[in-house]
A and B are shown apart, each in its own frame.
Chain A
């Protein structure tokens, strides 16, 4: 089945120790997103790629970086995790549902990676 895969599902890192979360997709979607979701909150968009074009949200801390080496893979790098970065990190993908200019970019989510910072 076509899907969005996130590895690992659970990640424990130490305060200040760089960590990388990975996302892969078999949907061949051109847009990939990274969200941060804290307990009992809505997902918060960190950034997204439209093909190779990187789009950073204005309030995303510099501590968060991303790489997309090809269509299928996207990585989230946290350079110096703090205790406040403990959260669920969700990857999502989308593509236009139709050819018209107004197309619904419905998003397909992976299962998430729960990050713990000790």
Chain B
């Protein structure tokens, strides 16, 4: 069975600082991994995805994530936080070929001046 763990339900950073949101997964087959962002009262928007190609994945809004099989991790980073990055971020896993996602519990990112 697949699962996702997001460490830290709330993360606070200063504007311009590095953003690091942690995600660890468990999957019995090669996983496909996703990061989604959700703004208040909105649906989820895909930031980036890993589908067994390059391990360093670049997404929208300057975010990127690195797939590390040895650590079963897929952490999301952004070099410099912007106020507009304040939102909830969800990591999700799909066991390869599967059409269902398993979501983590989410991390609320706060960006302070």
Q: Which of B17-25, B44-52, B71-79 is the interface stretch? A: B44-52
A105:B99 contact, CB within 8 angstroms: yes
User: Which A residues are CB-close (under 8 A) to B94?
Assistant: 104-105
Contact of B51 among A6, A97, A111 (CB under 8 A): A97
Interface size on B, residues (CB 8 A): 26
Q: Tell yes or no: A103 within 8 A of B by CB.
A: yes
Contact of B90 among A42, A48, A112 (CB under 8 A): A42
Q: How large is the interface on A (under 10, 10 to 19, 20 to 34, 35 or more residues)?
A: 20 to 34
* Residues 1-60 of B at the A interface (beta carbon under 8 Å): 30, 32, 34, 36, 41-46, 49, 51-52
Q: Tell yes or no: B87 within 8 A of A by CB.
A: no
Using a CB–CB cutoff of 8 Å, the interface residues on chain A facing chain B are 4, 6, 31, 40-43, 45, 48, 50, 88, 90, 92, 94, 97, 101-112, 114
Using a CB–CB cutoff of 8 Å, the interface residues on chain B facing chain A are 30, 32, 34, 36, 41-46, 49, 51-52, 90, 94, 96-101, 103-106, 108
